[in-house]
Amino acid sequence: MKYGLVFGGSSFEHEVSIVSAIALKNVLKEEAVFIFCDKDRDFYLISPKLLKSKLFSSGEYKKSPKLTLKKGGFYQKSLLKENRAEFEILINLIHGRDGEDGKIAALLDFFEIKYIGPRIEASVISYNKLYTKWYAKEIGIKTIDYELLQKGGYEIKTPLPVIVKPLRLGSSIGVSVVREKSELSYALDVAYEFDKSVIIEPFMEGVKEYNLAGCMGEDFIFSTIEEPQKEEFLDFEKKYLDFSRTKQVLEAKIEESLKRRLKESFKKIYKGMFEGALIRCDFFVIDDEIYLNEINPIPGSYANYLFDDFNKVLDALSQNLPKDKEIDINYAYIDSIQKAKGK
């Protein structure tokens, strides 16, 4: 299976996406096609040999062939014709805005390009932390209590300590733990730099957290369950200084009954919403109850390090992508109107 990877995007997580692409280059067994979306939302075909972080930070990527997205794929113009970038399945590797908010999903669906990644509704649900909580409630999964604050608001009802999160952002960007009232205004100002709305949640010490990734092939495919090693919370640097890891993590030392319940929770979240995507769910366990912390519809480095055979997982997912229902448009309604009018 030959994959294409689209990465970058106009997002605060633009650089994280580049790191993910470099990580997957080293994981995929076959040479892939790399398509970079820059901050201006122009597409470039990047040679795998040149795929290094400096290519993008220096602006040298602009010397690469420019691509146009149209029906059936990404095309490079030549003097007499257009050449399509050759891949069978595209992997959406754009983190944050553009990739996880539904923009790319809508374009790929519209232009009939087969892809791995969240579809439009799944993107909208998982990109907005408030919508994620609403969705979890509807399917019977608990979430942490929360308070929504709009830009300009600095008074909160939730007792300290709290965690402050931008509403529509991942990678722990703009996230702060507030223990003293004197720290609150600054933490909110930081979050408001990234979003006009923020979520306030109670911050609880010593909560057990478990990460589980998976997707739907012919049946559910689950990753290793990871218990992240962290200090207070996984801030941006803690998450992404080792973000390009490709070595598989160790399985969390938990009882089989808890593993089973985490997988059942994952199934509830995934089924009917995330088909076609490989996602990672981050769960809390509090007093033996499972809570959904967040859904990562395009996890960092595609969570390759959580799987025994990541390439096999991608291939299984590729064989079971959702298909649009074909609609027969035959103009029978318009014809019946014309006949009724005698035309």
pLDDT level of residue 246 (50, 70, 90 thresholds): low
Q: Average the pLDDT over 261-278 and give the result.
A: 98
Neighbours of 121 (CB within 10 A): 14
Q: Are residues 212 and 192 in the same domain?
A: no
Please give the pLDDT value at position 231.
57
Q: Token pair 């720290």 is at which residue? A: 183
The total of other beta-carbon atoms located within 10 Å of residue 51's CB is 21
Instruction: Give the pLDDT score at 232.
Output: 53
Tell me what pLDDT residue 337 has.
Answer: 87
Which of 149, 117, 111, 115 is closest to 130 using CA atoms?
Answer: 149
311, amino acid identity: N
Taking residues 268-297, report their average pLDDT.
97
The domain tally of the chain equals 3
Q: State the pLDDT confidence band at 247, using cuts at 50, 70 and 90.
A: low
- 3-44 residue pLDDT tens: 999 999 999 999 999 999 999 999 999 889 999 999 999 999
Q: pLDDT exceeding 90 applies to what percent of the chain?
A: 81
Inter-residue contact 187 to 316 (CB < 8 Å): no
Residue 276 — very low, low, confident or very high, per pLDDT cuts 50/70/90? very high
Per-residue tokens: 91? 């992997």
Q: Does position 241 have pLDDT exceeding 50, yes or no?
A: no
- Residue 44: inside a domain, yes or no? yes
Q: What average pLDDT does range 316-323 have in this prediction?
A: 95
- pLDDT the model gives residue 249: 79
Do 102 and 192 share a domain, yes or no?
no
Tokens 């007093």, located at residue? 287
Say whether both 139 and 266 belong to one domain.
Answer: yes
Residues 135 and 278 both lie in one domain:
yes
Average pLDDT of span 288-308:
95
Per-residue confidence at 173, pLDDT binned at 50, 70, 90?
Answer: confident
Residues 135-159 have a mean pLDDT of 95
Reported pTM: 0.90
Do residues 90 and 164 share a domain?
no
Give the relative orientation of helices 120-127 and 129-138 as an angle to the nearest 10 degrees: 110
CATH number at residue 231: 3.30.470.20
Residue 237 reports pLDDT greater than 60? no
Are residues 183 and 217 located together in one domain of the fold?
no
Mean of the per-residue pLDDT values of the chain: 92
Domain for residue 297, yes or no? Answer: yes
Structure confidence at residue 324 (pLDDT): 86
167 is in which domain, residue-wise?
147-202
Mean pLDDT of all residues in 50-62: 96
pLDDT at 230: 62
User: Tens digit of pLDDT for each residue in 74-133?
Assistant: 999 887 889 999 999 999 999 999 999 999 999 999 999 999 999 999 999 999 999 999
What band does 242 get if pLDDT is binned at 50, 70 and 90? Answer: very low
Whether 80 and 184 map to the same domain: the answer is no
- CA distances 206 to 72, 227, 230, 249, Å, are 50, 13, 10, 21
Q: Is the model more confident about 339 or about 279?
A: 279
| Helix (H) or strand (E) run with residue 115 in it | strand 115-116
